[in-house]
Amino acid sequence: MNAATRRASLQLPYTHVDDFYINGSWVKAEGTQRNPVVDPAVGQEWGSVPEATASELDSAVGAARTALKSWSALTGAERTGYLLKIATEIESRSEALALTNTRENGSPISETRGAASNAAGIFRYFATLAPWLDGEDIRPFPAGSAESIVDKDPIGVCALIAPWNFPINLVVIKLAPALLAGCTVIIKPASPTPLSIRFIIEAIEAAGVPAGVVNLLTGSGRFGDALVRHPGVDKVAFTGSTPVGKKIAAACGELLRPVTLELGGKSSAIILPDADMSVLSTRLIRSCMRNTGQTCYISTRIIAPSSRYAEVVQTVASTIAAGRQGDPYDEETVFGPVASASQYSTVMSYIDSAREEGARVVAGGTRSISLSEGLESGEFIQPTVFADVTPDMRISREEIFGPVISILKYDDTNGVSEAIALANNTKFGLGGLVFGADEEQALEVARQVDSGSVGINFFGSNHSAPFGGRHESGMGVEYGIEGLSAYLTYKSIHRTI
C-alpha cells in the first residue's frame, strides 16, 4: 500500500480538535490560536489543537486544587483501585493510540504498539507501592524517650510537561506515581504530539477518576512557561531538552518550587576488548539507535578498543545499514523519519559538521532516497555511522537526537581506563552501556561510568529501579519508590512515649 492510501484508510478519532479536558469534561477552547500536527513521514498537516489561554490555565489549576482536597484524603489502597482500572482501560485503546502516535512523530508502529501495554505496566507497578505508602512509619528518638510518626503527604498540584519522542510513556511515568501519591495534575504534551495522550484521558474518564484530578491543556512552550510559574502549582515534573530544563529550573528556583528534570543525554557504549560482536550486533539498534535515534538514554557514542577497532566499525556499520527504513506504519520498519522538519535540519547540520571536522562516514550520511511511493516529502535521514570521531568534535559532545552514531577509539594496550575517561568526558550523565564477555569486569567498569543508569550487554528500563540523569541530564529520578517520593512531602510528628 502506498503512503497516501494507507493514511486515507486510518480513520483516527482525533485529528482537528477544539477542546481541553478540564474538571472532568471536554471543554471547548475559547481562544482562536491553533497549532498544527504534522505527519513527518509525508510532511503533511493532518491535525491541529488549540492553544490554551491564561483563563483556561486558571480553570484547570483551580479544578486540580479543588479536587486535591478529596483525592488526597483517600488511602493509597483506594487510589490503587483507580490505577488498576486505568491500566485495563489503556490496554483496550492500544491500537488507536499506536496509530495516532505514529502519525504524530513517525515512531515505527512496532514501537508505538508497545506504548499502551508499557503504560498499563507502569500503572500496575505503582499500584504495588500502596502498602509502602499507607504503611505506618514510626521512628524512635535515638535517646529513647520519644518517637516520631513520619507521614507521607502528597506534594499537591503537579504540572507534568512532556517531550514528543515517547509522548505516552513520558507522561505516564509522572502521572501514575502522582496519582498514587494523592496529587492532582495538569498535563501539557509537546506540540508535535498533543493527540495520542487523549487516549490516556479517555482511560482516566472510563476508570471513573473524579473530576479535576487529571486535566489536559495543549499549548506552546510559552504556555508551558505560564504553567510552570502558575501560583496554584506546587510541583513541576519535566522531561525534555537541557536548555528548556535550565529555564524551568531557574523559574522553580525563584519560586522555591520542587522540580524533577529528566533532560538530554550523550551516552557511551564501552566495548571491552573481550566483547562478543554478535551480542553487540543484536543489541545495537535497541540500545544505541532506538526510535530512529530519538531516545534520551541511548548510547550514540561507541568507544572501541584499538585492538579491535576495525571489527567494531564493521559490525556497527553493517548492523545499522541493514536496518530497514521506510513508512513507520509498515510493521517491518526499523527506522522511520525524524519527528519534524526542525529535527531534520538540526540532525543534517550535525552530519555536515562531522564531515567538516574530519569524521569518516561508514554508513548513511545523507537524506534517504528510494523509499516507497509517497514518502518523498518526509523527514527521512539515512541511519548514519561515523568512525574516527575524536572527543573534541561536536558530534562527540552534543546531543544530536537523531539517527547518528559516533565511534571513538581508546588505546587498550594497558587496560580500559582510557575508555572510562572518554565515556565520562561529556557534560551529560544519563545512560551508558558496557559490552564485555567477562561480566565481573563489565560490572567493575559500569560502576565507574558517571551516569544515572548503565547496562551490561543490554539496556532496559525497569519500572522498579530509579531512572534519572546526572549533571546536565537532570535532577531527581522517576520510577521506583524513589520516583514515587518525588510526589510526596514528608512530615514528622514528634511525641513522647
Among 182, 264, 365, 455, binds ligand NAP (CB under 6 A): 264
Return the closest-CA partner of residue 264 out of 228, 236, 238.
238
Exactly one of 158, 214, 244, 272 binds ligand NAP (CB under 6 A); that residue is 244
Q: Least Å distance between CB 377 and ligand NAP?
A: 22
Could you tell me the three cell numbers for 391? 572527543
How far apart are alpha carbons 89 and 159 in whole angstroms?
23
Residue 459 interacting with ligand NAP (CB under 6 A): no
Do residues 49 and 195 make contact, with C-beta atoms less than 8 angstroms apart?
A: yes
Catalytic status, residue 288: no
Binding residue (CB under 6 A) for ligand NAP from 190, 271, 454, 486: 190
Residue choice 94, 239, 325, 368 for contact with ligand NAP (CB under 6 A): 239
For cell 523519519, name the residue. 337
Cell of 81: 483501585
63 binds ligand NAP (CB under 6 A): no
Span from 42-50, 201-209, 233-241, 284-292 in contact with ligand NAP (CB under 6 A) = 233-241
Q: Minimal CA–CA distance to 292: which of 455, 457, 108, 102?
A: 108
**Does 241 engage in binding with ligand NAP (CB under 6 A)?**
yes
- Fill in the DSSP letter of residue 53: P
Q: Does 164 bind ligand NAP (CB under 6 A)?
A: yes
Q: Which is nearer to ligand NAP, 219 or 273 (CB)?
A: 219
DSSP string, 423-484: HT-SS--S--EEE-S-HHHHHHHHTTS-SS--EES-----TTS-EE--GGGEESEESHHHHH
Does 225 participate in binding ligand NAP (rule CB under 6 A)? yes
Active-site entry in 51, 296, 399, 472:
296
Catalytic residue at 183? no
The yes or no reply on residue 191 touching ligand NAP (CB under 6 A) is yes
Task: Provide the minimum distance between the beta carbon of 147 and ligand NAP in the complex, in angstroms, as a whole number.
Answer: 39
* Minimal distance, residue 188 CB to ligand NAP, in Å: 6
Nearest alpha carbon to residue 184 among 477, 487, 479: 487
* Amino acid residing at 249: A
Nearer to ligand NAP, 319 or 473 (CB): 473
Which residues neighbour 483 within 8 Å (Cβ) at sequence distance 6 or greater?
173, 177, 466, 467, 477
Radius of gyration of the chain (CA): 23
Choose, by CB under 6 A, the member of 154, 156, 167, 265 that binds ligand NAP.
Answer: 265
Residue partners of 474: CB distance under 8 A and separation at least 6: 245, 260, 261, 262, 263, 430, 452, 468
How big is the site for ligand NAP, counted in residues (CB under 6 A)? 31
Q: Which is nearer to ligand NAP, 204 or 248 (CB)?
A: 248
- The verdict on 240 binding ligand NAP (CB under 6 A) reads yes
Q: CB of 120: closest distance to ligand NAP in angstroms?
A: 20
Q: Per-residue string for binding with ligand NAP, 385-404, x by CB under 6 A?
A: --------------x-x---
Choice between 249 and 389, CB closer to ligand NAP: 249
Torsion, CA 63, CA 89, CA 208, CA 202, rounded to 10: 40
| CA-wise closest residue to 184 among 19, 60, 341, 271 | 60
| Residue closer to ligand NAP (CB basis): 188 or 198 | 188
Q: Does 479 bind ligand NAP (CB under 6 A)?
A: no
DSSP 357: T
Those residues whose C-beta lies under 8 Å from the C-beta of residue 342, and which sit 6 or more positions away, are none
- Is 221 a binder of ligand NAP (CB under 6 A)? yes
Give the interface segment with ligand NAP, choosing from 142-150, 276-284, 300-308, 466-474 (CB under 6 A). 466-474
Q: Please report how close the Cβ of residue 454 comes to ligand NAP at its closest, in angstroms.
A: 15
> Should residue 233 be labelled a site residue for ligand NAP when binding is judged by CB under 6 A?
no
Helices of type H across 323-387: 341-356
> What cell was used for 143?
535517646
Asked if 362 and 356 touch (Cβ cutoff 8 Å), the reply is no
Q: Which of 51, 89, 111, 262 is catalytic?
A: 262
Tell which one of 80, 165, 260, 396 touches ligand NAP (CB under 6 A): 165
Integer Cα distance of 19 and 465 in angstroms: 37
Give dist(CA 419, CA 396) in Å, integer.
14
**49 counts as binding ligand NAP under rule CB under 6 A:** no
Strand segments, DSSP code E, in 290-415 are 301-305, 360-363, 384-387, 404-410
The nearer residue to ligand NAP, 76 or 429, going by C-beta atoms, is 429
Q: Using CB under 6 A, pick the residue from 161, 214, 304, 381 that binds ligand NAP.
A: 161
For position 248 contacting ligand NAP by CB under 6 A, the verdict is yes
Near ligand NAP by CB under 6 A: residue from 209, 363, 430, 446: 430
The reply on whether position 296 binds ligand NAP by CB under 6 A is yes
Judged by the rule CB under 6 A, the positions of this chain that interact with ligand NAP are 161-165, 170, 188, 190-191, 220-221, 224-225, 228, 239-241, 244, 247-248, 262-265, 296, 399, 401, 430, 469, 473-474
Which sequence positions are flagged as catalytic?
262, 296
